[in-house]
Amino acid sequence: MVVERQQNTIARPAKVSGFGYWSGLDVSVEFRPAPAGHGIVFVRRDLPGMPTIPAKIEYRVDGPRRTTLTCRSASVEMVEHLLAALAGMQIDNCQVWVDRAEMPGFDGSARPFVDALNTAGVQTLPARRQSLVVSGTVKVGDENSWISISPTTRGKCEIHYELDYPNDPAIGHQTHSTVLGEHDFANGVAPARTFITQQEAEALRQQGLGRRVSYSDLLVFDQQGAIQNKLHFENECARHKLLDVIGDVSLVGCDLVGRIEAYRSGHRLNAELVRQLLNLYPQSVRTSKAA
C-alpha cells in the first residue's frame, strides 16, 4: 500500500554559506518557499537574467565525483548533498538561490543544509505528492558495481547500500539501510561525510583541485584510518554513499515506492537507474491526487 502524503515546502527563507571543494570559491545558498507543483529549482542569481535550473534528471550531465545540472548555459554542481537534505526531509518545493556554480562542501555531509532547513520549518501544501510505484525489478551496472530497485510492500522507499574497498582495509566492507520518511534521516544519514583515500586526495591536489580543503573538511583515509579526524559512525562511508543515492534518485521528481539496493554504485549509475525508471514508468502511471 502506497503511503500518500501532502506536498511540502519551507515556511520561511533560510541561508547557508561556505566554499566549494573543487573551486575553492565562496558561495551563498538561500532556500526560499515555493508553491505546490513547483519542485526543486536552482536560481543562479549571479548570472544575467538569473537563469533557473530544475532539479530533474533531464538536466543532469556527467562529471567526475559529483552531480552537475545544466540548463541552457547555466549550471550548478556538487548538488547531491543539498538535494539529499531536501529529499530526506520531504521538502518537495523550494527555490534554491545561489551565487556560484558549485555548492558549499562544509564538512562533506548534508547536515548544515538540514540544520538550515530545520530553522526554516516545513509548510504543508494543499496538494498530494506524486508517487512512482515500482512493479518490477530494474537494475543497472555490472558485477563490479550496480544499483537496482524492486517492489516493496512497505509503501515507501527503502534503501540498502553495500560498500566494499578490499584494497583499503581502513574502509573495508560496510553496509547501511534506511527507509525515507520513516527512519531518522537528520541524525542517522545526513551527518555522514564525504570520504576519499589519501592517494586520491594527492592526485586531485596535483591537478590543482581541492587546495582549500583540509583534513577537517572531509574524511581522508590512509591505511590506518581517517587522517586527523574521527568517524561519526563506524560505517560512515556506507552511510555517505547512501546519502548520495538519496540525492541522486531525487532527480526522479516524485516519491519512489520500492526497495533500492546498491553495491559500490556512484553518481553515474544512480542517475542511470532514474533514467531507466522514467522510461519504463511514464507520467500517466504515477499517482497524484488533489487534496
Walk along the chain (291 residues) and give the pLDDT tens digit of each residue: 567 799 999 999 999 999 998 888 999 999 999 999 999 999 999 999 999 999 999 999 988 888 999 999 999 999 999 999 999 999 999 999 999 999 999 999 999 999 999 999 999 999 999 999 999 999 999 999 999 999 999 899 999 999 999 988 899 999 999 999 888 899 999 999 999 888 877 777 777 666 777 787 888 888 889 899 999 999 999 999 999 999 999 999 999 999 999 999 999 999 999 999 999 987 644 553 322
Residue 271: the pLDDT is 97
Catalytic residue check, 240: no
The pTM assigned to this predicted structure is 0.93
Residue 276: the pLDDT is 95
Residue 206 near residue 226 (C-beta atoms within 8 A):
no
Residue 213: the pLDDT is 78
Residue 203: the pLDDT is 78
Looking at 81, 176, 240, 267, which residue is catalytic? Answer: 267
Residue 284: the pLDDT is 44
CA distance 51 to 72: 9
Residue 220 near residue 226 (C-beta atoms within 8 A):
yes
Residue 289: the pLDDT is 33
